[in-house]
């Protein structure tokens, strides 16, 4: 499998830091960012790499050579004029007979590329975007997906942000050669708005949601941040080869105000301080994973589409305050019958409805989570029991009507109090 690294940009946003170097050669904790990328790929066996160069490209080629110093085979494609984020693919398509990675050359990352490739192949995708949440979704271009992770479009910065999945394109892609077979002319092409947008109707454009570290270092502030993150060990710690730690969060009464069954997005409101608490989790290196019983589906009070909208609104409210959830899991089941409009297919016993630990165990499988180093935080004994059954530490957020059992040793007045105790501040 080949990899294309796009390193032809001028780096105008970081020119003051670059000092005449192409941005791909800027030093991140002792090595140029392009070397960091190549080493990550080589360690996982992806050793056939094409680097697209343009502005100051001769310096890139001189620094990296033929790749033998890094155990890879490097070749180069020089853009005689700027080709955007996908124009070079028209010139290279005859060399791309198998799926290939396409990576922005200003990214700092440490990724499990095989896991990414497995997702792409499992879905028989034409294009898979590596996506993740960020702490400023309100001014980002967001990837819009359905509940099967198929990409349906983009939500632009200028569009109204009322409810959304907080997912942005990280700049790492996996493409089938069939995705570029119709490219004829070598010209400037925008990857998202022209190439990928033209393929959405095939139903074979997917978003791969990962918690792994990917950040561009294209501005002075971001350059300083990725240096700090690399030196602190944060970058390598987020690779999904490494066991992760998580704080599992109940929803109603823990993150958002408890109002009984929430069946409309407009009824959702955050508990004061909960976004600040989730942001603390984000900054800590723990994953923030929502696990919530939603019997409204089985009862017929809410459709799956309506529940998705409620969760999108929750992500929006958190994002407005610089916080995000790494993943959301919900149980739609309810074993008891007798409700008008109930849906029989969901009226079943299951292993995901808390106090059963199924949602936590599924998240642990998806994100390689060490449950013994993780926490379950909720407002009911069901949450505590689910956490214990999964092997987590547990903490109860007290509601006025909470049943505080003697078996609960850690009780807090709010999620913010819990994060202050765990992380300080």
SS3 content of the chain, % helix, strand, coil (to 5): 35, 25, 40
Residue from 267, 343, 336 nearest 304 by CA: 343
Counting beta carbons within 10 angstroms of the beta carbon of residue 344, is it exposed (0 to 12), middle (13 to 18) or buried (19 or more)?
A: exposed
Does the annotation mark 250 as catalytic? yes
Q: Are 67 and 110 part of one and the same domain?
A: yes
Q: Which helix or strand (DSSP H or E) is residue 118 part of?
A: helix 113-122
Q: What are the Cα distances from residue 405, in Å, to 329, 353, 385, 395?
A: 26, 20, 11, 12
Cα–Cα distance, 355 to 297 (Å, whole number): 18
The parent domain of residue 385 ranges over: 243-423
Structural domains counted in the chain: 2
DSSP, collapsed to helix, strand or coil, labels residue 81 as coil
Q: Are 314 and 375 part of one and the same domain?
A: yes
| pTM for this model (two decimals) | 0.93
Per DSSP, the residues of 239-282 read STTSPB-EEEE-SBTTTB---SS--SGGG--BPTTHHHHHHHHH
Q: Are 264 and 320 part of one and the same domain?
A: yes
Q: Are 137 and 275 part of one and the same domain?
A: no
Q: Are 227 and 309 part of one and the same domain?
A: no
The confidence score (pLDDT) of residue 403 equals 60
Domain boundary among 235, 264, 294: 235
Q: Are 273 and 397 part of one and the same domain?
A: yes
CATH number at residue 384: 3.40.50.1000
The confidence score (pLDDT) of residue 279 equals 98
- Taking the chain (425 residues) in consecutive chunks of 10 residues, what is each chunk's mean pLDDT? 90 67 91 97 98 93 97 96 93 96 96 97 98 92 94 88 92 98 93 95 97 92 94 96 98 96 96 98 96 96 95 97 98 87 92 98 98 97 96 90 66 96 91
Domain boundary among 235, 265, 287: 235
DSSP, collapsed to helix, strand or coil, labels residue 300 as coil
The confidence score (pLDDT) of residue 196 equals 97
Q: Are 114 and 216 part of one and the same domain?
A: yes
The confidence score (pLDDT) of residue 360 equals 98
Instruction: Given the residues 106, 149, 216, 250, select the one marked as catalytic.
Output: 250
The confidence score (pLDDT) of residue 15 equals 63
Domain boundary among 197, 218, 235: 235
Does the annotation mark 403 as catalytic? no
The confidence score (pLDDT) of residue 19 equals 63
Q: Are 270 and 412 part of one and the same domain?
A: yes
Tokens (6 digits) for 382: 């069901």
Q: Are 186 and 308 part of one and the same domain?
A: no
Residue from 22, 10, 16 nearest 220 by CA: 16
Q: Are 367 and 277 part of one and the same domain?
A: yes
Q: Are 270 and 414 part of one and the same domain?
A: yes
Residue from 83, 85, 105 nearest 26 by CA: 105
Q: Are 187 and 331 part of one and the same domain?
A: no
CATH number at residue 85: 3.90.550.10
Instruction: Given the residues 99, 106, 252, 383, select the one marked as catalytic.
Output: 252
Q: Which residues contact 183 (CB under 8 A, 6 or more apart)?
A: 86, 89, 90, 93, 189, 195
């Amino acid at each position: 499998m080949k990899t294309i690294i796009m390193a032809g940009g001028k780096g105008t946003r970081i020119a003051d830091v670059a000092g005449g170097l192409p941005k791909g050669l800027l030093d991140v904790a002792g090595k140029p960012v392009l070397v960091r990328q190549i080493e990550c790929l080589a360690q996982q066996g992806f050793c056939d790499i094409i680097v697209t160069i343009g502005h100051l490209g001769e310096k890139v080629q001189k620094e990296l050579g033929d790749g033998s110093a890094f155990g890879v085979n490097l070749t180069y494609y020089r853009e005689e004029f700027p080709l955007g984020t996908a124009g070079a693919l028209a010139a290279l398509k005859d060399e791309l007979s198998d799926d290939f990675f396409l990576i922005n050359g200003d990214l700092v990352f440490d990724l499990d590329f095989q896991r990414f490739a497995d997702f792409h192949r499992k879905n028989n995708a034409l294009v898979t975007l590596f996506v993740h949440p960020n702490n400023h979704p309100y001014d980002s271009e967001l990837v819009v997906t359905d509940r099967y992770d198929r990409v349906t479009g983009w939500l632009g910065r200028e569009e109204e942000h009322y409810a959304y999945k907080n997912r942005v394109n990280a700049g790492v892609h996996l493409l089938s050669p069939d995705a570029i077979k119709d490219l004829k002319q070598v010209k400037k092409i925008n990857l998202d708005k022209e190439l990928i947008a033209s393929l959405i109707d095939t139903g074979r454009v997917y978003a791969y949601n990962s918690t792994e570290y990917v950040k561009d270092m294209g501005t002075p502030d971001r350059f300083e941040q990725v240096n700090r993150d690399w030196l602190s060990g944060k970058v390598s710690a987020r690779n999904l080869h490494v066991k992760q730690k998580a704080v599992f969060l109940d929803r109603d009464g823990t993150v958002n105000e408890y109002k009984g069954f929430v069946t409309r997005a407009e009824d959702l409101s955050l508990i004061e301080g909960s976004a600040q608490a989730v942001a603390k989790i984000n900054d800590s290196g723990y994953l923030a994973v929502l696990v919530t019983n939603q019997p409204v589906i089985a009862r017929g009070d809410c459709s799956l589409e309506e529940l998705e909208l409620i969760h999108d609104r929750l992500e929006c409210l958190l994002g407005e305050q610089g916080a995000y959830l790494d993943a959301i899991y919900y149980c739609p089941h309810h074993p008891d019958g007798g409700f008008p409009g109930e849906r029989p297919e969901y009226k079943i016993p299951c292993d995901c409805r808390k106090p059963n630990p199924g949602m936590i165990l599924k998240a642990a499988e998806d994100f390689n989570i060490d449950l013994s180093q993780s926490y379950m935080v909720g407002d009911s004994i069901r949450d505590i029991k689910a956490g214990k059954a999964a092997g987590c530490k547990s903490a109860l957020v007290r509601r006025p009507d909470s049943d505080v059992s003697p078996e609960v040793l850690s009780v807090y007045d709010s999620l913010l109090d819990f994060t202050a105790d765990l992380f300080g501040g």
